[in-house]
């Protein structure tokens, strides 16, 4: 029988340094709560992980409610007194009684990949370690704990929250990721010996490494090449930097699939953005969650595609445009200065510059339907709910308040039918 680990995710903290009322594990990063990225990685490793436990404390009902909606198989336990990471892990003791091995992670490290976790778990079993620590070598100033080794290069302790000072010729330091694998029995032996840190009045899980070293338990370390994977979110600056790293990763994945991103540094996508091959995304484009873009499209520059929008093949969305909860079919042209909200647009429709769909009446959002091959003139305002028929035309500056018949031409404020288009047109 293959060996497995029980995963314990620490998500109980108050998020003091982030300076927000929202628990940081629920911060949205690319349209998804921070902790969901860790849970996604864990649940993709069913061969290695037998269960996932999340430890809650601060605003536990809120956090548990959000997680439970998407991850039905997560088990929860509660840290009653928020007095440090060691006590957080200790609170899961009863849930772990029948487990042999434990993987511990922090809920605020969204960049860790399933591939890295798989490699780390396999290393833990291969080395037959009592404790394995995931580390990385970092070149920037950090408050991550420093890995300290003895003369034989064995890990002997972790020095918490050390500020790494760059010195000439010495820009690198090995740091602790906060991700560990333990033999369960020895983990709880060590936890019982951890003493309170007098400066912080907390019990630090990192202290267990020195205890294990003094007991001559086997401690192994496994270094991940990309130090960005282990970054956590402790401040708003951290959140911004981690968000940038994740966005870069998402864009790289899209480019591997044949999407052309003109300027990745000014293009922002979400975790589930789908873009077809040969589409081009121009600078200063922002794409929210649940957006799907077809093949051979042109989006931007300065375009905002809001959630639940679907863009069909060969469609062009130009500069200074916003599309919200819409479905645009194939070969649509919407080149300049326009807003569409709650609209279904048929094939080969032209949306003229300055077009606005007024979808909100102050109480409710209403839907609009624009039929195939319709031509919406520049500066048109369509007041929802409304239907513009197939091959209809609205004159420039029209305010459309009623349905427009198929193949008709409407003009004016409010728009009135000017004539019916001839069949030969």
Instruction: Give the DSSP H/E element, type plus range, for residue 101.
Output: strand 101-106
For residue 56, the cross-strand partners are 11, 78
Tens digit of pLDDT for each residue in 274-306?
999 999 999 999 999 999 999 999 999 999 999
Cβ atoms < 10 Å from Cβ of 183 = 19
35 three-state secondary structure: helix
- pLDDT in the model for residue 20: 81
Distances in whole angstroms, Cα of residue 59 to Cα of each of 12, 13, 16, 56, 69: 8, 9, 13, 8, 16
Specify whether the backbone of 167 is left (phi greater than 0), alpha (psi in -120 to 50) or beta: beta
- φ, ψ for residue 6 (rounded to 5)? -95, 130
CB atoms within 10 A of CB 108: 27
Q: Quote the pLDDT of residue 61.
A: 94
CA distance linking residue 325 with residue 137, whole number of Å? 44
Structure-derived torsion over alpha carbons of residues 222, 224, 227, 228, reported in degrees to the nearest 10: -120
Stretch 357-382: mean pLDDT, rounded? 97
**Rg of the chain, C-alpha, whole Å:** 28
Q: Which of 15, 11, 27 is nearest to 242 (CA)?
A: 27
As a CATH number, domain 5-230 is 3.90.550.10
Domain ranges of the chain: 5-230, 236-420
Do 279 and 296 contact (CB within 8 A), yes or no?
A: yes
Sign of CA dihedral 391, 395, 396, 398: negative
Fold of domain 236-420: UDP N-Acetylglucosamine Acyltransferase; domain 1 (2.160.10)
The Cα 118–Cα 126 span in angstroms is: 12
In this predicted structure, which of 158-172, 214-228, 363-377 has the lowest mean pLDDT? 158-172
- Token couple for 44: 């993709």
Can you tell me the mean pLDDT for 302-311?
A: 98
71-95: average pLDDT:
95
b/e map 123-162, b = 16+ CB within 10 Å: bbbeeebbbbbbbbebeeebebbbbbeeeeeebbbbebeb
Q: Convert the pLDDT of each residue in 34-65 to its tens digit.
A: 999 999 999 999 999 999 999 999 899 999 99
Residue-level length of the chain: 425
* Residue range 127-168, pLDDT digits in tens: 999 999 999 998 767 778 999 999 999 999 999 764 444 443
Is the pLDDT at 414 greater than 70? The verdict is: yes
- Is residue 262 within 8 Å of 298, Cβ to Cβ? no
State the alpha helices, DSSP H only, in 73-206: 85-90, 114-127, 184-191
> What's 31's DSSP letter?
T
Q: Which of 304, 316, 336, 366 is catalytic?
A: 336
Q: Three-state DSSP class for 306?
A: coil
336 classed as catalytic: yes
Measured in Å, how far apart are the chain's first and last C-alpha atoms?
73
Q: What is the pLDDT of residue 169?
A: 37
């Amino acid at each position: 029988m293959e060996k497995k680990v029980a995963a314990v995710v620490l998500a109980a903290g108050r998020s003091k340094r982030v300076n927000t009322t929202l628990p940081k594990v629920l911060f949205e990063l690319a349209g998804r709560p921070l902790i969901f990225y860790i849970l996604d990685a864990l649940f993709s490793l069913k061969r290695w992980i037998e269960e996932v436990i999340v430890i809650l404390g601060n605003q536990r009902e809120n956090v548990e409610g959000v997680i439970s909606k998407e991850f039905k198989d997560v088990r929860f336990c509660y840290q009653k007194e928020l007095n440090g990471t060691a006590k957080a892990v200790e609170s899961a003791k009863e849930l772990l009684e029948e487990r042999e091995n434990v993987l511990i992670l922090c809920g605020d490290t969204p960049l860790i990949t399933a591939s890295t976790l798989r490699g780390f778990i396999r290393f833990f079993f291969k080395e037959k370690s009592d404790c394995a620590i995931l580390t990385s070598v970092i070149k920037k100033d950090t408050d991550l704990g420093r890995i300290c080794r003895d003369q034989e290069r064995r890990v002997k302790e972790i020095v918490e929250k050390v500020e790494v000072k760059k010195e000439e010729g010495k820009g690198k330091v090995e740091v602790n990721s906060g991700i560990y694998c333990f033999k369960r029995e020895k983990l709880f032996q060590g936890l019982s010996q951890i003493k309170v840190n007098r400066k912080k009045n907390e019990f630090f899980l990192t202290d267990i490494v020195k205890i294990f070293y003094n007991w001559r338990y086997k401690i192994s370390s496994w270094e991940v090449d990309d130090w960005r994977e282990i970054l956590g979110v402790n401040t708003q600056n951290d959140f911004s930097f981690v968000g940038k790293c994740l966005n870069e990763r998402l864009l790289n994945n899209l480019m591997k699939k044949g999407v052309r991103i003109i300027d990745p540094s000014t293009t922002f996508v979400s975790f589930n953005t789908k873009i077809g091959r040969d589409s081009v995304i121009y600078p200063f484009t922002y794409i929210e969650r649940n957006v799907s873009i077809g093949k051979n499209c042109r989006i931007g520059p300065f375009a905002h595609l809001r959630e639940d929008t679907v863009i069909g093949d060969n469609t062009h969305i130009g500069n200074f445009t916003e599309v919200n909860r819409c479905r645009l079919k194939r070969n649509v042209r919407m080149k300049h200065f326009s807003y569409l909200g709650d609209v279904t647009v048929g094939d080969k429709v032209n949306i003229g510059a300055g077009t606005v769909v007024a979808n909100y009446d102050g109480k409710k959002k209403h839907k609009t339907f624009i039929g195939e091959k319709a031509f919406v003139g520049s500066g048109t305002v369509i007041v929802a709910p409304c239907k513009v028929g197939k091959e209809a035309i609205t004159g420039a500056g029209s305010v459309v308040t009623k349905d427009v018949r198929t193949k008709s031409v409407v003009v004016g404020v409010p728009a009135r039918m000017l004539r019916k288009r001839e069949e030969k047109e």
